[in-house]
Amino acid sequence: MPNVYVTDYTYTHLDYERAILEPLGCTVIGRQCRTAADVIAQCGDAVALLNQYAPITREVFAALPNLKMVVRYGVGYDSVDVAAATEHGVMVVNVPDYGVQEVADHTLALLLAMVRKIPAIVNDVTAGRWNDNTFHPIMGLAGKTVGLLGFGNIAKEVAKRAQAFNMQVQAYDPYVAAEVFAAHQVAGVSAETVFATSDIICVHLPLNDQTRHFVGATTLAQMKKTAYLINTARGGVVHSADLAAALQAGQIAGAALDVLDVEPMPADHPLRNAPNCLLTCHIAWYSEASLVRLQQFAALEIARMLQGESPRSVVNRPRK
């Protein structure tokens, strides 16, 4: 009977995974691993791993001889050493489509809250102050330009929402064909153009060696002083210290982030007390419905593998 281990999880239960995999003869075992050593010690006979945050390193692949697949709960898979998985013949799979609408909604919510200065206004009114002059200027959205870094499924949904507010949309993504941009009425432009000409920049890039700290001192310096930055993708795409310095200097108008380079946020994180910075706790993906989809879609990928079918979203090409 093959064992499928959930390396770690913050979900209330694993009933959805068990309902899908146990009829196939699997045993689903929940763990709460924090380190690669934990995974090796607690998941040694795994045929497949369902992974939330625990690091799945080269050492893990070397120590788990029966492992065939790692499924990452979510879109990003930077917790998994994909190169090592490929060398050891292990498929790495993500779940890219469980929360597209939710993340796009949260991106627009952050955009509106930041540009309309909603948190600051609410705090003032709650404190008994009633003076709209305090919050001038507020930028109108119609006719302004949203720049998207990355143009995958979530960015496409953000573009639709921004266009509904009569905003112009441009995007940088070197892997997207011109006809795809045209089909969504989005201008495909260079990264330099996004940074220099956008009124609001939304980050929708995966985290890898090419995108780590893609938004940093150099690119922040290219932005308009009146521009805003929003990140609902991966925290490591933005250099936190550089962003904090830009906000402290008034180099950009503000930032709103749902993801950070270190989570949970430490007390000494440079963005904790940065001015004009709105932070949420990596919750953009969540709704009651998306949580169910995430657990089910992840388990279904293992079910497909066990039944000899091709998974829907393999991110590597194993060597054996």
pLDDT tens-digit readout, 8-58: 999 999 999 999 999 999 999 999 999 999 999 999 999 999 999 999 999
Answer yes or no: is pLDDT of 319 > 80: no
Domains of the chain: 3-98+288-306 (3.40.50.720), 100-279 (3.40.50.720)
DSSP 8-state symbol, 127: T
- Kindly report, residue by residue over 149-193, the tens digit of the pLDDT: 999 999 999 999 999 999 999 999 999 999 999 999 999 999 999
Task: Please give the Cα distance from 278 to 47 (Å, whole number).
Answer: 42
301 belongs to the catalytic site: no
The pLDDT, as a whole number, for residue 299 is: 98
∠ Cα 255 258 259 (to 5°) = 105
**Mean pLDDT for all residues in the chain:** 97
The pLDDT, as a whole number, for residue 152 is: 95
The pLDDT, as a whole number, for residue 51 is: 98
User: Exactly one of 282, 293, 304, 312 is catalytic; which is it?
Assistant: 282
Answer yes or no: is pLDDT of 218 > 90: yes
User: Exactly one of 31, 106, 161, 234 is catalytic; which is it?
Assistant: 234
- E-strand ranges in the chain read 3-6, 27-30, 46-51, 69-72, 91-93, 145-149, 168-172, 187-188, 200-203, 228-231, 254-257, 277-279
Beta bridge partners of 105: none
The pLDDT, as a whole number, for residue 320 is: 61
Phi/psi-derived region of residue 231, left when phi > 0, alpha when psi is between -120 and 50, beta in every other case: beta
Neighbours of 317 (CB within 10 A): 8
pTM above 0.95, yes or no: no
Please name which of 218, 200, 122, 196 lies closest in space to residue 161, comparing C-alpha atoms. 200
Answer yes or no: is pLDDT of 6 > 90: yes
User: Exactly one of 22, 192, 263, 309 is catalytic; which is it?
Assistant: 263
88 belongs to the catalytic site: no
